[in-house]
Amino acid sequence: MPKVAIRFTLNGSEAAEFVESGTTLLGALRDKLGETSVKGGCLQGTCGACSVIIDGALKLSCLTLAESCQDARIETVAALARGGLLHPLQRAFVETFATQCGFCTSGMLMAAKALLDHNATPSREDVIEAISGNICRCTGYEPIIQAILAASRAATSTAA
């Protein structure tokens, strides 16, 4: 299997690897770059656990080829906290019990961040729409919806 060189920015740092052609971004992140904060729950685009943000847009890393990410800017949940301070979304997820087993949490947080990056004051419907591609088998979703709404309120009140 021919190897291809990939290079992109991962959470603000340069990352480069050789991967087999056809390797998914999820595979490259987890198996080659040790970025195990990204989870794989289905490897077929149906659960959202593998969600990352690529050049500002929410993407499923299990359906994205690593070689299509040349020079892209990739963000995972690992970069959400800044300087030891949790992101408002992370704080809200802890406080509202929006994470139980935690396996969906990385993807949920990425979906939520992509939402708040584009819409700082989402409605409940916006939140539901934004996480509709992310499956959580533990929480029943309501605490997650509440967490995202709480985070948006916290972020807008500190900004004001």
126-155 footprint of ligand FES as x/- string (CB under 6 A): ----------xxxx----------------
120 binds another protein (CB under 8 A): no
Q: How far apart are CA 86 and CA 131, in angstroms?
A: 21
Among ligand FES, another protein, none, partner that 109 touches (CB below 5 to 8 angstroms by kind)? another protein
Least distance (Å) between residue 1 CB and another protein: 8
Give, in order, the Cα–Cα distances in Å from 1 to each of 23, 108, 143. Answer: 11, 34, 45
Helix (H), strand (E), coil (C) string for 54-122: ECCEEEEHHHCEHHHHCCCEEECHHHCCECCECCHHHHHHHHCCCCCCCCCHHHHHHHHHHHHHHCCCC
In the complex, what is the shortest distance from the CB of residue 29 to ligand FES, in angstroms, rounded to a whole number? 12
- Residue found under tokens 């989870």: 39
Nearest CA to 60 out of 79, 40, 78, 80 is that of: 40
Residue 51 binds another protein (CB under 8 A): no
Return the residue matching tokens 């408002």. 88
Question: Residue 138, interface with another protein (CB under 8 A)?
Answer: yes
Beta bridge partners of 18: 5
Give yes or no for residue 65 binding ligand FES (CB under 6 A).
no
Stretch that binds another protein, among 67-75, 99-107, 124-132, 151-159 (CB under 8 A): 99-107
Applying CB under 8 A, which part among 2-10, 66-74, 132-140, 149-157 lies near another protein? 132-140
Q: CA 16 to CA 135: how far, in whole Å?
A: 31
Residues that bind another protein (CB under 8 A): 30-31, 34, 36-39, 41-44, 46-47, 49, 76-78, 80-81, 86, 89-90, 93-95, 97, 99-106, 109, 135-138
Residues that bind ligand FES (CB under 6 A): 40-43, 45-50, 60, 62, 99-105, 136-139
